[in-house]
Chains A and B, each alone.
Chain A
Amino acid sequence: MAAIELRGLTKVYPGGVKALDSLDLDIPDGEFFALLGPSGCGKTTLLRTIAGLETATGGAVVIGDRDVTGVQPGGRDVAMVFQDYALFPHMDVTDNIAYPLRIKKVAKGARREKAEEVGARLGLERLMDRRPGQLSGGQQQRVALARVMATQAQAFLFDEPLSNLDARLRLEARTFLKKLQRELGVTTVFVTHDQAEALAMADRMAVMEAGHIRQIGTPAEVFQRPANTFVAGFIGSTPMNLLDGAVRGDTLEVAGCKVSVPASAEGRLTGGEKIVYGVRPEYMAYSAGPAEGALSGKVAIVENLGASHLVTLDVNDVLVQAVVPEGSEPAVGDDGHALPRRDRALVYRDGELV
């Protein structure tokens, strides 16, 4: 068990591509930490640099008070689960789980025993003699987890641990992974491009874009108060409404409608300045009749989300989305009014949260 610290970490690939640009990050001992971002944002590079598979161009990686920047992957006392699990196809499950112990020169009997024990804990007892090719995706994932558990490393690194599983199994594995991490209490960093996965599993998360960390926080913080328009647009299964507007005295003018200044931005705006008004569709109160401070327009699209509907309003040629509970959804072409929640709406100036 150990904390992970990154100090000014930079990675420049030959050819000049800057994958990581002077990153600072503190991950306390025992935390389940998510690195989230679109593909190509550098999150996998960051994970591989922590593992030592990529050499940092600048800065330092500190694991449990030990600077390991120049240390080979094997000497860092971390264990990694790869996206494809990287189970050795020619070894059975027991040998796969026991492989890290084989490297550490643990006697054959002792390492078989350890493999059986860890395997049993993850419900693999009946599969110990199988080859990886004879296992389902979920079983392979559990073998990969058992293998890192057998190392008793100070920190675990997971590269897209759920992306190889089908949708239903993914939900199951998500719960399982979170429970396992809690029980083991080992510092764990995982990479994902799926914001729902990061929100669901992580204790804290970092949202990355183009080699920079755009926000660090708990899932609740990141969801409710995205620090900038990039994070605001990336987080949430229905994207946040980000509407251009301007400050007009005590109110905001957004898409030709007057809306009140959000609680968080009160007293911080100057008249006449250009802003971006952000509010999640979930934080909009929809009504068929007019309301003070609402965004009013015609219903353009109604999408069924299951227990609710996503209604898209055409407000003076700007599209605004609101989530409407089932049973009260409007028809296309109706007049509609969406009132943002004042305590949840946000104002961005130059892309940053006010």
Chain B
Amino acid sequence: MTRFVLGRIGFSTLIAVLLAFFTIPLLWLVTAPFTSDPSYEVKVPDFTWDNFQAVVEHPYALPSLYNSLILSVGTAVLVVLLAALAAYALSRVRLPGRDALLYALLLLSSIITGTAAMVPLFQLAVELNLIDSQLGLILILTGGLLPAAIFMLKDFMDSTPKSYEESARVFGASPLQIVRHVVVPVVRPGLATIAVWSLANVWGNFLMPYLLLSDVEKQPAAVITYTLYTEGGQANLSMLSTFGLLYSIPVVLMYLFVSKKYGFRFHGGIKR
């Protein structure tokens, strides 16, 4: 009996420590921005708006959120559009070596990431005159996300029965009508998943914009966060926490919205 009780206590303590490990930083993020002189501790805030005032007055803070928005929305639109077309074709047309091609793409894109691709990508951008350009960055980010997006969407389209399209075809629908009336609505949850995934990916990406954008006015929030220091060279905790909160809110809202609307699951017709 004692052993059981002790076991329960030990287990609960372990869970509590683990939970604290993840919740305390979050707790800090929501309290520190409202505290006049934040430190690394979690304190009961005194509800000041001074920190927000400082962020608004910072010359690059709010514009950088806008830059993040441009980069992530631009990339997400491109990724969804291109991945949907590629995945549909790959899912419906039998090509010799199709699966090998997909796995090779996926494998290469997950091995050669970030630091490994840094130098070649930089050189490529210089050669193509795409350095310090948001469009160039969007193209490079899109290229990085596409293989995984195609792979996920193809899987999704494989699991949607061909009979939907064939049925519409027998009724006389043109290929364009089939895509508009049937395919897009049926795979919409998949498209939403890919869109959210690319948005979040670009929103949090630090390395690529840091590398390819030198003009501070074009840099996204992830890079600007890195520049928030006090005159003494210390991390400016009041700015960092406040900016961090503003930076994370859009992503949280987006997840809530999409999860409510689509629930990230497939609404199918019949059990197969």
Residues of A within 8 A of B (CB): 51-53, 72-75, 78-80, 82-90, 99-100, 102-104, 131-133, 137, 140, 151, 164
Residues of B within 8 A of A (CB): 161, 163-164, 166-174, 177, 181-182, 185-186, 188, 267-270, 272
* Residues of the A chain whose Cβ atoms lie less than 8 Å from the Cβ of B267: 89-90, 131, 133
User: If A79-B170, A79-B171, A80-B167 touch, does A103 touch B177 (CB 8 Å cutoff)?
Assistant: yes
Task: Report yes or no: B270 in contact with A137, Cβ–Cβ below 8 A.
Answer: yes
Ranked 10 nearest A-B pairs via Cβ: A74-B172, A86-B167, A86-B163, A90-B185, A100-B171, A82-B163, A132-B269, A89-B269, A73-B170, A80-B170
When C-beta atoms are compared, the residue in chain A nearest to B185 turns out to be: A90
Task: Report yes or no: A82 in contact with B270, Cβ–Cβ below 8 A.
Answer: no
CA distance A35 to B187 in the complex (A): 34
User: If A88-B186, A103-B177 touch, does A132 touch B171 (CB 8 Å cutoff)?
Assistant: no
Contact of A74 among B171, B185, B268, B269 (CB under 8 A): B171
Task: Report yes or no: A88 in contact with B170, Cβ–Cβ below 8 A.
Answer: no
When C-beta atoms are compared, the residue in chain B nearest to A157 turns out to be: B170
User: If A132-B270, A133-B269, A164-B270 touch, does A88 touch B172 (CB 8 Å cutoff)?
Assistant: no
CA distance A87 to B168 in the complex (A): 10
When C-beta atoms are compared, the residue in chain B nearest to A140 turns out to be: B270
Contact of A140 among B169, B173, B185, B269 (CB under 8 A): B269
* Residues of the A chain whose Cβ atoms lie less than 8 Å from the Cβ of B163: 82-84, 86
Task: Report yes or no: B270 in contact with A151, Cβ–Cβ below 8 A.
Answer: no
Task: Report yes or no: B170 in contact with A89, Cβ–Cβ below 8 A.
Answer: no
When C-beta atoms are compared, the residue in chain B nearest to A104 turns out to be: B172
CA distance A72 to B186 in the complex (A): 24
Task: Report yes or no: B270 in contact with A88, Cβ–Cβ below 8 A.
Answer: no
User: If A88-B182, A89-B186 touch, does A78 touch B269 (CB 8 Å cutoff)?
Assistant: no
When C-beta atoms are compared, the residue in chain A nearest to B94 turns out to be: A14
Interface contact tally, CB-CB below 8 A? 80
Chain B nearest CB: distance from A79 CB in Å?
7
Task: Report yes or no: A86 in contact with B164, Cβ–Cβ below 8 A.
Answer: yes
SS class, residues of chain B in contact with chain A: helix
Task: Report yes or no: B166 in contact with A86, Cβ–Cβ below 8 A.
Answer: yes
CA distance A52 to B181 in the complex (A): 21
CA distance A82 to B168 in the complex (A): 11
Task: Report yes or no: A87 in contact with B269, Cβ–Cβ below 8 A.
Answer: yes
* Residues of the A chain whose Cβ atoms lie less than 8 Å from the Cβ of B270: 84-85, 87, 132, 137, 140, 164
Chain A nearest CB: distance from B187 CB in Å?
10
Chain A nearest CB: distance from B160 CB in Å?
9
CA distance A295 to B188 in the complex (A): 67
* Residues of the A chain whose Cβ atoms lie less than 8 Å from the Cβ of B269: 84-89, 132-133, 140
CA distance A73 to B173 in the complex (A): 9
* Residues of the A chain whose Cβ atoms lie less than 8 Å from the Cβ of B186: 88-90
Contact of A78 among B167, B170, B188 (CB under 8 A): B170
* Residues of the B chain whose Cβ atoms lie less than 8 Å from the Cβ of A83: 163
Chain B nearest CB: distance from A96 CB in Å?
10
Can you list 13 residue pairs at the A/B interface with Cβ under 8 Å?
Answer: A53-B169, A53-B170, A74-B169, A79-B170, A80-B167, A85-B269, A86-B166, A86-B167, A90-B185, A132-B269, A132-B270, A140-B269, A151-B171
CA distance A73 to B188 in the complex (A): 26
Chain A nearest CB: distance from B171 CB in Å?
4
Chain A nearest CB: distance from B167 CB in Å?
4
Chain B nearest CB: distance from A130 CB in Å?
12
CA distance A137 to B173 in the complex (A): 26
Chain A nearest CB: distance from B215 CB in Å?
45
Task: Report yes or no: A103 in contact with B170, Cβ–Cβ below 8 A.
Answer: no
Task: Report yes or no: A89 in contact with B172, Cβ–Cβ below 8 A.
Answer: no
Chain B nearest CB: distance from A81 CB in Å?
9
* Residues of the B chain whose Cβ atoms lie less than 8 Å from the Cβ of A85: 269-270
CA distance A38 to B188 in the complex (A): 38
Chain A nearest CB: distance from B141 CB in Å?
31
CA distance A104 to B181 in the complex (A): 14
CA distance A133 to B186 in the complex (A): 13
CA distance A80 to B171 in the complex (A): 8
When C-beta atoms are compared, the residue in chain B nearest to A159 turns out to be: B163
Chain A nearest CB: distance from B107 CB in Å?
29
